[in-house]
Every structure is written in structure tokens, then in C-alpha cells.
Amino acid sequence: MGRIRALPVHVVNQIAAGEVVDRPASVVKELVENALDAGARRIEVRLTEGGKARIEVRDDGCGMDPDDLAAAFLPHATSKLASVEDLDHIASLGFRGEALASIGSVSRATITSRPAGAATGGFVEDREGALSEVRPAAAAPGTVIVVEGLFAGVPARRKFLRTSATELGHVVDTLERFALSFPEAVFLVEHEGRPVVTTAAGEGRRARIGRFHGDDLARSLLEARSADDAPVHVEAYLSPPGVTRGDARLQQVYVNGRYVRDRTVGHALREAYRDLVPPGDRQPVVFLFLTCDPARVDVNVHPTKAEVRWRDPAVVHETVRRTLRAALEGARPGVDVGAAATGARPSTLEAAEFAFLHGVGGQGAGREARWGAGAPGSAWGGGGATAFPPAPAHGHDPAHPHDHAHDPAHAPAHDHAHPHGGAVGARERLRPVGQVLTTYLVLESEDGLVIVDQHALHERVLFDRISDRLRTGALEVQHLLVPAVVTLSRAEAARIHEERELIAKLGWEVEAFGDDAVAVRAVPAVLRRPDPEGLLHELLALLESGRREGLDRAALLSAVVDRMACRGAVMAGDPLHPDEVLALLAQAEALNHAHSCPHGRPTRLAMTRRDLERYFHR
Ligand code: ADP
Ligand code: MG
């Protein structure tokens, strides 16, 4: 007797369902795709228990007549594809005809639908694979699909569902992506009777980005569009060079309406920002909408259609990179391509900001007065690093004896450099000479030359200042003119609640704003950068990882202060005005450990007159 049997159809469907639906959000995704394919302009999603108990999707699309209703739940039944050639140019979101069959096999699903012109509607039900007859039913034009008891009959899958809040979070993420991708449609999500996503007719993508990710962020984004004749049309909303996040969640790519993950486009995006984001793992924010002839892209490569394959990846890569890069360069008039490519970029620390932090006047600190900007490598040539305030009298003394001049044993300069040679500026008279490679400050000391790593030193200054303040009280706050509403994940919301005292002490004024957002009223003054949202996410991520790694309070606090110092400090690549340099040196004077940054890297390198003389055999 043979042991091999063909599986019953409903078991085949249940197995197939695992590929298409794994949680309420994927059911919602399939149903909303169907609604959009049906031409809907208004889509309402209602959930109970995060969708685990009940999902309802209602649309005003073309509807289904009784024949369609009879076929809708059948496997491989679709109105969107007729022949294998059609696969080469799919313009609809769905095409495989397996979503409804899969969903019906693992839940109790009903469809009530009425085509626009029809007098009445129809109703059909699929109870875990058992199909009902189509019956007449009262219905508004359009379609309502209700899915109850998802995976109730498949305990192995049911147990992978998370809390209602988590499942709801995934549904909300899914709907926000649809809402960005299809700005011409109105989307609504209600959870247990309360609206959790709302959108309005006639608002554009930028307004929707503002709704979901904060108005401040939305306002700060640049806009980029490819040339009219580009092979792939690009529309992008992207952060200017100074605005970044601690993770890549706000890098979203849509291809012909689908939200996808795509390595080609991801790489092009990183290339566009090359040398424009700070070192480390900071990520720009980019919402990228690509449209092209469906023949250019294969969407039939992934079960949930989350990936695509380009027929010509190089063309896509270059179009995306070039379009974004042009917008980024255009955003900062005065930075030429060459300068950007070699790492020079305009200061992200504005003059007023610096003046605020360091108590110096902003006078003369306009960009045009910055020294050495845009001219790395030519610092000692004409017009590069301009010498500034007249050299004090203690300059080179021609009468100075040439002792040790010919002592070959003392020749190599690095033998005599003193990377840890005492506190920068401590009672030392230093004359700024210039900034080289927009990273190092060159100073003349009373007895030679000092080179300072601007980021390392500023970081050290801020680290000490913040630590001091925290020992005696709370950090200074900077109130925002308009509170920034920041949407939080469940984990972040939990962290903000648990750590509210610490967060307040660090200079944040944050209050609950609905269920999954907070309004930020003030940020730490030391972090006066235009990105409260990004910085709050970063802080919460840090607290979360500290908690996971079981850091004690002191270690956690030190990690937080460390990060704040890093975020507040000028970066390598920031052009500095001479006034800013002087202010920085004045700050450093008061420190005990100015010779190293909080990570232990040296902040300075000193060469005495003797070192120089030995080197040059004078
Ligand atoms: P696919 O979307 O791949 O065609 P589905 O199983 O998702 O497969 O849907 C099967 C068919 O049911 C679709 O091709 C479409 O004709 C019809 N359909 C599903 N949902 C709707 C809807 N909301 N409005 C109109 N027709 C729908
Ligand atoms: Mg479908």
C-alpha cells in the first residue's frame, strides 16, 4: 500500500497561507491591496484585539458581482492576470489570486459586495476552507471583507501572534505606508472604536509624513524629482545633511506603489549621502517613490511581494543616486561638488547656536567668514586657511639659538610629538593659525605648534560640562517654539515611562500625546540641533540597549552623557570660525582631562620649538 497521498485542498491552502499571511498586518495588507486594485478612494480598517479577533476592511471600489463572489475565495482565482505574458508587466498590486483563498482557509471570512451599477449586493462566506453559496445581501457600493478568528483552527500559527498592541502596531505601520504611497486615497484605521490612523483627502505626501512622523521632520525634508525623461521616475522626500536618525526605519522605498526592500535602491541612497552624514551609524531619512514601466521590474520574486528584481539595476541605481545627490547639493548653496566629495561641508553648528553654547558673540561668524571652508588641502596656499588676528610678538625669534640643530639622533618629528602633552589651552597662549582638513585646528603655542582634533576636544568639553551639571541638578532646557509630536513604538513608550525622571533630568520636557506619541516641549539646551525627534529616538534606543545589557545606573548614565556630548559637539568636517575656535579653547582651559576625549582618544598633538628644530636640523 502506497504511503504517498495528495493532500486535501484546504490543507494545501493552509500551508500556502503560511507564505502569504502570518499575522493580522499581512491580512490587512492583502485586503487593502485588493481595495486599491479595485480603484477604491476611501478605505476603512476596523480591528478588534489588534486584528486577532476581528478585521474589517471596507472600500468604495468597483465591487464584485455574484459570479466574482463565487470565485473570489477559490485558489489561484484572479481577475488581474490572464496569461503568462501578463506577468511581465504587472500594474496591479495583486496578481497571484491566492490571498483570499489563503485567508479564508485559516479564518472565518466573509465578503459583502456590490458593484457600483448593481441594484443589490451579494454575500459569500469561507469558514476555514468551507465555502458558502453566494446569497443576495443589502450592501453599499464597494466591498466589505470581515476576517474573524485568524488562525483559530491552526494553533501552531496562532501561538506566534503577539499582544494586541504589537499586532496593532504592525497594522498601523502597514497602513501608514499605503497612505504615503497612495496620497490620492483616504485611509482610516480604528481599533476597538477609536481612530488610530486618520488621513484627509487632498493632502499630499509631505503632509502625511508630518502626520505619521512629526511635522518638524516633514518640514525639514528636501524634495527631489528626477528629470522628465528619466527611465525611472523618482519622487523623494529626504533629510538635509544635518538631520539623521539612529536607525534606518525612516528609509522607505516604494516601487510602483508597493513598499519594498531593495538593495539596489538602498545602496544608491547611501551613495547619495556619502560624506554628508556624520561618522558612525547615523542614518538619513528618505521616503522614496519610484514609478516606472512595469516591464522594467519583476514583482513576482517574493511571496508577500516585499522584494522586486530590476531588469536593469545599474540604470535604477544611477537615476536614484543622481537625483538625490543633486537635491542634497542644491540644498547648501556654496558647497561645490568637489568640496563635498573630499569631505568638506558646511558647518552643522550654526553661528548663533555656537554663541549660545559658548557665550561668545556671533559677530563675524557668518558662513562667508569661516576660514578654510571648502579648501581642504590648500590650507597653506593662497586663500585657504586665512591667518587671523595679527600674530602676537612672541612669534619666531630669529635670535633663538640653533641648539641640537645637527643632532641626527633627534631627527624624526614623531619621536618628539607629545600627544598627551598637557591640557590644551591650560594657561597656554595659543594663537589659532588655521583649520586643516576641516577636522584639525592648528595653533601656535608660545613654544611651538599644537594640533587639536576639534571633535574630540569639544566632546570632552561637553562631556565634563554635562556630567558636572547632572551631579548638582538637571540640565538646562531649551523650549521649542512648537512642541514636536514624536510617534513612539510600544517599547519606546514603555522606556519613556519607566525612565521619566532620568529623561526630565537630562533636559527633556515630554508629555503623553495620545496612546503612542509624546509631545516634546523642550530639549536639552546642549543639543541645540534641529532634530528633537531623532535625538529622542536615539536616547530611547540607548536606554533600551542599556536595559537589555543590564548596565548599572552609573554606566547607563555615562553612556547617555557620552552620546549627548558626541551629538552636541562639532564634527570632523565642520568648518569653524576663528571665534568658535577661541571659545572652544577657552572652555577647554577649565578642564582636567582635556588631553583626551571621553573615549580616551587624544585631543591634541604638540610639537615644541625644539622638536621642530631637531627635525629640520637647525
Ligand atoms: P489577487 O489580488 O492576486 O487577484 P486575491 O485572492 O487577493 O487575488 O483576490 C481575488 C480576486 O478577488 C481579485 O482578483 C479581484 O477580482 C477580487 N477582489 C478581491 N478583493 C476585492 C475588492 N476589495 N474589490 C473588488 N474585487 C476584489
Ligand atoms: Mg490580492
Task: Write out the DSSP string of 371-431.
Answer: SSTT-TT-TTSTTSS---SPPPTTS--TTS--TTTT-GGG--GGGG--TT-S-TTTT---E
Cβ–ligand 1 distance for 60 under 6 Å, the answer no
User: Bigger pLDDT: 25 or 156?
Assistant: 25
Closest atom of ligand 1 to CA, residue 93: 2
325-353 average pLDDT score: 43
Q: Which of 450, 466, 430 is nearest to 598 (CA)?
A: 466
Among the listed residues 438, 470, 428, the one whose alpha carbon sits nearest the alpha carbon of residue 557 = 470
pLDDT of 334 above 60: no
| Of residues 259 and 403, more confidently modeled | 259
Residue 597 corresponds to which cell in the numbers above? 576625549
- First vs last C-alpha separation in the chain: 102
Residue 526 CA neighbour count, 13 Å, CB half: 25
Q: So what's the pLDDT on residue 99?
A: 93
Other CB atoms within a 10 A radius of the CB of residue 567 amount to 22
Q: What is the pLDDT of residues 40-80, one digit of tens each?
A: 999 999 999 999 999 999 999 999 999 999 999 998 889 98
As a whole number, the mean pLDDT across the chain is 79
Cβ(454) – ligand 1 distance below 6 Å = no
The per-residue b/e assignment along 283-309, b for 16 or more CB within 10 angstroms, e otherwise, is bbbbbbbbebebebbbbeeeeebebbe
Cα–Cα distance, 590 to 582 (Å, whole number) = 13
CB 365, CB 570: distance < 8 Å = no
Ligand 1 centroid vs 18 CA: distance in angstroms? 19
Least trusted range by pLDDT, from 259-263, 282-286, 368-372 = 368-372
Task: Work out which ligand 1 atom sits closest to the CA atom of 72.
Answer: 12
Hey, what domains does the chain have and what are their CATH numbers?
9-203 (3.30.565.10), 206-342 (3.30.230.10), 408-475+580-618 (3.30.1540.20), 477-524+529-568 (3.30.1370.100)
Calculate mean pLDDT across residues 455-460: 84
3-state secondary structure of 538: helix
Ligand 1 site, residue 272, Cβ cutoff 6 A: no
- Ligand 1, atom 16, residue with closest C-alpha: 79
**How many Å apart are CA 204 and CA 237, to the nearest integer?**
12
Q: What is the pLDDT of residues 196-248, one digit of tens each?
A: 999 999 999 999 999 998 888 898 899 999 998 999 999 999 998 767 887 88
Mark 538-549 as b/e (b = at least 16 C-beta within 10 Å).
bbbbbbbebeee
For residues 321 and 230, the answer to whether their CB atoms sit within 8 Å is no
- Ligand 1 centre from 46 Cα, in Å? 19
Per-residue pLDDT reduced to its tens digit, 522-539:
888 877 465 788 889 989
Question: Does residue 97 have its Cβ closer than 6 Å to ligand 1?
Answer: yes
Given a cut of 70, whether residue 452 has pLDDT beyond it is yes
More confident residue, 577 or 542: 542
Residue type, 324: L
Q: What is the mean pLDDT of residues 371-375?
A: 30
Q: Is 55 a pocket residue for ligand 1 (Cβ < 6 Å)?
A: no
Q: Does the beta carbon of 73 sit less than 6 angstroms from any atom of ligand 1?
A: no
Q: Which of 42, 87, 100 to mutate to test the pocket of ligand 1 (most atoms within 8 A of CB)?
A: 100
Question: How far apart are alpha carbons 16 and 486 in whole angstroms?
Answer: 39
Q: Answer yes or no: are the C-beta atoms of 607 and 416 closer than 8 Å.
A: yes
Q: Residues 18, 19, 25, 28: is their CA dihedral positive or negative?
A: negative
CB of 137 within 8 A of CB of 146?
no
Q: Is 99 in the pocket of ligand 1 (CB under 6 A)?
A: yes
For residue 237, how many other CB atoms are within 10 A of its CB? 23
pLDDT at 104 over 60: yes
Q: Compute CA distances 161 → 156, 177, 294, whole Å.
A: 10, 22, 35
Which of the residue ranges 388-392, 460-464, 505-509 would you say has the lowest mean pLDDT?
A: 388-392
Please, what is the angle between helix 578-589 and helix 454-472, to 10°?
50
pLDDT bracket for residue 132 (50, 70, 90): very high
Q: How many CB atoms lie within 10 A of CB 51?
A: 26
Residue 417: pLDDT over 50: no
The cell 548596565 sits on which residue? 551
Q: What is the pLDDT of residues 319-332, one digit of tens each?
A: 999 999 999 987 74
